[in-house]
Structure 1
Amino acid sequence: MPVPPFDPELAVVLAALDPEALAPVTPENLRAVQERDVNARPRPTVEELGDGGRFEVAELSVPGPPGGPEVTLVSGRPAGLAGRPLPLLLYMHGGGMVMGNAWSVLPRVLNDWAEPLGMAVLSVEYRLAPQTPYPGPLEDCYAALVWAVEHAAELGVDPDRILIGGKSAGGGLAAGLALLTRDRGGPAVLGQVLLCPMLDDRMSGFSSRQMSGIDIGDLTSHATFWQAYLGDDLYGSADVPPYAAPTRATDLSGLPPAYIDVGSAEMFRDENIAYADAIWRAGGQAELHVWPGAFHSFDGIAPNATISQDARATRTRWLRRLLAGGDGRS
């Protein structure tokens, strides 16, 4: 089937990626893929994350969900901003729910979000599937959010200006967390930043098929990720809860303002567009950006491309408006 063209700068980067890293992930090779990811994504130390004193970084262990272990959070904030409460971003890393860690994503989040916006960050080391399937990872994130609000003074953050966000699987967790905290009457969240979020276990959008194996990822890999996250009892059933797969939600009212961005040439395009549309239909606020010719996670993989710089600048403007007391709209 025809596919949309890639942005020229991004096409060069995509063509140069290691084919092994793009090979399909199956239930049979998942463990090996996880081990390879651990080796390829070393965790920076607290000193390295501090970047020569630019940032104040610490590792925290906080109470986890009932019956679960403690949750590790990596805390970071620009140096020299003590004395006033900062807005806080609770960030969930990507990795298909089966890979990634809270440390390796922090440098980019600190540079792209925390420093220009004067914001504190808590990066959540949620448990990974399939070792811990749903709801474990999401409950880890909820426990982290509740703890952050209860300890806002200790953290030096403003409990009325807490945002949640993430990329890919982390964006899906952030969307699920927004639904969960709404329905539990949990902490109020100022906004949700969903970067190419993983939302639809059914992979029902046309783009899922159109861009499979052309974008970063394919149907086989994403089916493996969803099966690992949902477990054998839920995967493929009609009983998948919206907190696990937010496109399953039938009520998207009462959510915090959402910023959603996605590429026109990636598998998650249509589910992201549909999610923004569902928020609008429910009377909510969402700002959607579909970046032309962009593949999945383009701004992280090709950070110097012009379109990546545009995406970061646009996201920063939305956050600045929201933090200034607006609703994210111009």
Structure 2
Amino acid sequence: MNAQRSAGAGATEPDSTLNSGGIDGLIEEHILAKLDSDFLAYFTDSQPQAASQPRKATPVFPPIEHVRAHPEAYQSPCALDTSGYPRVTDAKYPSQDDISIPVRVYSPDEAKHGSGPYPVHLNFHGGGFVLGNLSTEASLCLSMREAGVSVVDVDYRLCPENTWGKCILDAWSALKWVRESATTLNINPDSISIGGISAGAHICLILQHMARDAGMPLKLCMASVTPATKGLTYTYYTDSPFPSFHEFYRGPVLPWARIKYFGRLCMPPEKLPELRSLWPSWWLEPLEAPDWNNLCDTFIRTAEVDPLRDEGEAYAMKLVAGGNKAIIKRYLGCPHTFMYINSMKRKHEYDQDAIIALRAAHNLN
């Protein structure tokens, strides 16, 4: 079946889910052969029409106005409202342009980890710079604090309501605010790590370089399913030099059509000259960062069945070439943001890996 679906802004892309072969025509055979069985069970359960009738071509996402009006429909599978949970508090800090940015702070259990001050980990959620809030990765923040660290989840500003790059300024302000608020937050300002998933990983890779330049030591940068080049600015998927981008451009979770949807909302072609004048050009593509020396230790986690896999691993190799310590782990059989799917064993492996990495980075072992 040949189908086209809207990719936003009046353009069309090949429909990433209406492929011949595979599970009822939804996943191509070469991708199906690689996918984790837990993901396939989840995917099948989430496609009630698959076994009964062909699906019509529909937009990857509807207009952004509809998304904003119905945020509950676009939350991650593991989203959780943790407001009011024990040892979870909300706060705000000022951005560089004096906008109040919300954060949610997850403090460890004193009975298990003592009274502090605790090491602190800043989390930047995924969502293509367009989606996400303090519920998106709340369950992952609850898990990470089991390492004995405080976790500060940052609700940075999103596109298209805000110019892309404000998210980086918000993240940088969050990092400085945490250091300056150590007493209030009961954290150790000399033991800070950062991390994120997808767009959040992009943010923390930039922070890694900014912190080095500012003489601000970090214990760890933990970046997952990492976008580290210029995929959001490609005209078409064939512009990518990375094999995984070509192999999985019609894969589940993050097909090319969805990447372009996000790209047109945060880095539209007509705005690229302006964005490149506003910010350092490597912010848009961290693989082009000018200096790879003396960066903090890094844990790069990729998913095998993810178009962004190879560029995340290429970022790790540039770290190693620059004389830095980097650990790479590829989760076999997994698509982009598999760590949001509670029914996957690999997701729970991912959670445990984060706890182990945080405990080692902050000398809590």
Please say whether Structure 1 and Structure 2 have the same fold, judged by a TM-score greater than 0.5: yes
**Is residue 219 of structure 2 the alignment partner of residue 190 of structure 1?**
yes
**Alpha-carbon offset, residue 43 of structure 1:** 6.9
What residue in structure 2 maps to residue 278 of structure 1?
318
> Secondary structure at 1:276's aligned position in 2?
helix
What residue in structure 2 maps to residue 307 of structure 1?
346
What residue in structure 2 maps to residue 37 of structure 1?
71
Match of 1:17 among 35, 46, 54: 46
1:7 corresponds to which letter in structure 2? D
- Quote the Cα distance in structure 2 between the aligned partners of 1:68 and 1:223: 31
**Alpha-carbon offset, residue 306 of structure 1:** 2.7
> Secondary structure at 2:261's aligned position in 1?
helix
**Is residue 272 of structure 2 the alignment partner of residue 234 of structure 1?**
yes
List aligned pairs for 1:50-61, cutoff 5 A: 50=85, 53=86, 56-61=87-92
**Is residue 128 of structure 2 the alignment partner of residue 96 of structure 1?**
yes
What residue in structure 2 maps to residue 266 of structure 1?
306
Q: Mean alpha-carbon deviation: is it higher for 5-14 or for 194-203?
A: 194-203
- Structure 2 residue runs without a partner (length 5+): 1-27, 50-54, 235-239
- Quote the Cα distance in structure 2 between the aligned partners of 1:269 and 1:73: 29
What residue in structure 1 maps to residue 149 of structure 2?
119
- Quote the Cα distance in structure 2 between the aligned partners of 1:311 and 1:78: 20
Q: 1:235 to 1:209 in 2, by over 3 A?
A: farther
Q: 1:124 to 1:237 in 2, by over 3 A?
A: closer
- Quote the Cα distance in structure 2 between the aligned partners of 1:230 and 1:263: 24
Match of 1:209 among 236, 242, 246: 246
**Alpha-carbon offset, residue 34 of structure 1:** 4.1
**Alpha-carbon offset, residue 171 of structure 1:** 1.1
- Quote the Cα distance in structure 1 between the aligned partners of 2:325 and 2:58: 37
What residue in structure 1 maps to residue 195 of structure 2?
165
**Alpha-carbon offset, residue 126 of structure 1:** 0.4
What residue in structure 2 maps to residue 179 of structure 1?
209
Q: Number of aligned pairs?
A: 313
Match of 1:79 among 84, 104, 109: 109
- Structure 1 residue runs without a partner (length 5+): none
**Is residue 288 of structure 2 the alignment partner of residue 256 of structure 1?**
no
Show CA shifts across 1:48-98 (max 9, x none): xx1xx3xx1111111111x24121111111233563210101110111100
> Secondary structure at 2:282's aligned position in 1?
coil
1:321 corresponds to which letter in structure 2? A
What residue in structure 1 maps to residue 361 of structure 2?
322
Q: Mean alpha-carbon deviation: is it higher for 186-195 or for 163-172?
A: 186-195
Show CA shifts across 1:100-139 (max 9, x none): 10234223211x2102x11101111101011112220110
**Alpha-carbon offset, residue 146 of structure 1:** 0.3
Show CA shifts across 1:212-243 (max 9, x none): 23131221221232333235332799887222
Percent of residue pairs bearing the same amino acid type: 22
- Quote the Cα distance in structure 2 between the aligned partners of 1:44 and 1:25: 25
1:315 corresponds to which letter in structure 2? A
- Quote the Cα distance in structure 2 between the aligned partners of 1:245 and 1:36: 31
What residue in structure 1 maps to residue 163 of structure 2?
133
> Secondary structure at 1:194's aligned position in 2?
strand
2:330 corresponds to which letter in structure 1? V
Q: 1:23 to 1:287 in 2, by over 3 A?
A: farther
For normalisation by structure 2, the TM-score amounts to 0.77
> Secondary structure at 1:251's aligned position in 2?
coil
- Quote the Cα distance in structure 2 between the aligned partners of 1:120 and 1:126: 18
Q: 1:293 to 1:128 in 2, by over 3 A?
A: same
- Quote the Cα distance in structure 2 between the aligned partners of 1:141 and 1:72: 11
Q: 1:155 to 1:300 in 2, by over 3 A?
A: same
**C-alpha contact (below 8 Å) 2:205/2:286 kept by paired residues:** yes
Match of 1:223 among 249, 260, 270: 260
What residue in structure 2 maps to residue 64 of structure 1?
95
